[in-house]
Structure 1
């Protein structure tokens, strides 16, 4: 039993599950294909779900359970996930003091999310009995949600809450400091890599959005009417596409992102570098392989993450500064410069006004200035009537 990539005749890619005879597991394939085509989820999402469902089906197979009814013993599955290697070669880890689990809480929760989605889909399509839903979900209301998430009518709403979920410790995503970004920028060895760093830290794009940019998405002229675009000033268009490199924009709707002179200058330098190496060759993707084969092929989102890791090491930062930290830095810098939350929301391409809040990490100097603006009790007394 293993996850397996599929390319449809339309060019759409997704992941499915095949058994030991390389036969597709029909019910799982139906769920994963619908997840990709009907719900518009990323290829990487179907890969993560397929890998999680492989573990679930492998547990059912090894313990003699039918996956259609195994939901009533999800607690045993969670225990199996924590202490049993997924592949047949490893031995079961014996729990005890100082023994490290095979999988952490976060990984187990991701597997459970995939299993719940699959079993719910099976119930809807009559492949599993309806009582399975009672085993994986419990009925809850919205009274424990923040006021902003509760019903505007004041009436209580009901929702399904997952029965089996581990409490994960909160991991704060720190912002990259301006000094770290500058050090990584200086550590770049090509115009292409400098442009990537600016697209991450100055524009705030995700790795999948950076890798998915096409040359036609960049409108760097002051007047773009000649390109058939009514947006004024230099900007780029972020568009969700089915890309051959697997790059994927998380945002369903396209949006326009203004860029400054630094990005324009970096793009011009990269265009010259690319032409000197490839000439007119290469794909229509903006960012392509220049220094190792396959030359001219688009870079991947994974390669952008690897670049950030290499730049962090090369710059001697002492920690890994990833693409998400660069995105957080961009959002925080906009606010530190006087930007409002709705502006950050639009620039990040997010739907909800509350979505940008986890991305904001105010500069310490701004926090200190905020405290210093608050008058002391002595000042209040001196200003009052005597």
Structure 2
């Protein structure tokens, strides 16, 4: 069992699961194709889920279980996930001699709780889809959720997730919640100074000054950039320099998580960086034909749009070059943007609109008040008049 990418005739990509004979596992493929096409999930989501489902099917195959009816044994699957090394878990049964790795006493875990819970989420979704398609008996539901009855998640209603979200999963691993920290202004400045090209400086600013995700940065098209003095000449009624964030299918795998298109105002630093990059790009003839803003200028294939993974590689390399004390990710630059918006007096509804979040509650992980704001908040609380003499 292994995950495998599929490109449909329409150009849409998703990931599926192949068995040992390289045949598509129909039930898994039906679920993953449904996620990509019907529920409009990202290709990366189907990739993650395909790997998780392949783990589950591989474990069932090695232990002689029927994947359709062994939901009660997910506790043993958790044990296997926690302790089986990745190189052994990835092999097919025939390649590993048909044996099953059995952890002994004192074996250190190789997967954390958050990773195991992600796999379990994918497996539950896969089994529920199989219930809807009548490939799996309805009794599986009671093994997946505590207190669930057949009526709670009947096949005709379990697809929207509204009922499922109110039930407690039977199998879940306790894990520590780790909040994403914001990159400090000093760290962002260090990354910026470590850049060797105008393109790389623009990438850093699009995340740290406009709050774009890496997929939105990589998916940005030249038609989305409205830095003209009067945008009406471009057929746009939005005033001032701004960017349009649009969810679309991209050949480089870039994806905007938000389904809603939105406008992001651009400050003078982003505009200046874009202008400098435009001159740099003109010196590379291979880049003239691409409508993508960010293209390969310094490695092959020249002129092709950058992939989201390349932005991670860039931030990592810049962090090393800048001699930062910790490893930064592109998402921490987005958190730096949100924290600076609030520190500068921005409101939660403004932050929600800028980040493209669906609800005000979604902005909570992005709220990183600076230390001086916390101290000022305490000092604003009026002190009561205390009768020191009378209190003795």
- State if a TM-score over 0.5 links the two structures: yes
Paired residue for 1:250?
257
The 2-side partners of 1:124 and 1:185 are apart by 51
> Is structure 2 residue 28 aligned with structure 1 residue 28?
yes
Please give the residue correspondences for 1:22-171 in structure 2 after superposition, counting only pairs within 5 Å. 22-85=22-85, 86-88=89-91, 89=96, 92=101, 94-97=103-106, 99-139=107-147, 159-171=166-178
State the 4+ residue runs in structure 1 displaced beyond 4 angstroms.
none
Residue 280 of structure 1 and its aligned partner are, at CA, apart by 5.9
> Is structure 2 residue 194 aligned with structure 1 residue 187?
yes
Secondary structure, in 3 states, of the residue corresponding to 2:243? Answer: strand
The 2-side partners of 1:180 and 1:102 are apart by 31
Long gaps (5+) in structure 1:
141-155
Q: TM-score, normalised on structure 1?
A: 0.91
Please give the residue correspondences for 1:243-282 in structure 2 after superposition, counting only pairs within 5 Å. 243-278=250-285, 281-282=288-289
The answer to whether the Cα contact below 8 Å between 1:84 and 1:91 also exists between their aligned partners in 2 is no
Secondary structure, in 3 states, of the residue corresponding to 2:181? Answer: coil
Q: TM-score, normalised on structure 2?
A: 0.89
Paired residue for 2:158?
none
The answer to whether the Cα contact below 8 Å between 2:287 and 2:303 also exists between their aligned partners in 1 is no
Residues 336-362 of structure 1 deviation map (CA, whole Å, 9 limit, x = unaligned): 101100000000001101111111111
> Is structure 2 residue 357 aligned with structure 1 residue 350?
yes
The answer to whether the Cα contact below 8 Å between 2:287 and 2:302 also exists between their aligned partners in 1 is no
> Is structure 2 residue 376 aligned with structure 1 residue 373?
no
The answer to whether the Cα contact below 8 Å between 2:62 and 2:100 also exists between their aligned partners in 1 is no
Residues 217-259 of structure 1 deviation map (CA, whole Å, 9 limit, x = unaligned): 0001131111111111000110111100100000011111111
Aligned length: 365
The 2-side partners of 1:369 and 1:95 are apart by 54
Compared CA separation, residues 181 and 157, structure 1 to 2 (3 A): closer
Residue 374 of structure 1 and its aligned partner are, at CA, apart by 2.6
Long gaps (5+) in structure 2:
149-162
Residue 282 of structure 1 and its aligned partner are, at CA, apart by 4.0
The answer to whether the Cα contact below 8 Å between 1:240 and 1:254 also exists between their aligned partners in 2 is yes
The 2-side partners of 1:25 and 1:359 are apart by 39
Residue 124 of structure 1 and its aligned partner are, at CA, apart by 0.7
User: Which of the numbers 225, 233, 237 marks the counterpart of 2:240?
Assistant: 233
Once structures 1 and 2 are overlaid, which stretch shifts more, 300-309 or 88-97?
Answer: 88-97
The answer to whether the Cα contact below 8 Å between 2:243 and 2:266 also exists between their aligned partners in 1 is yes
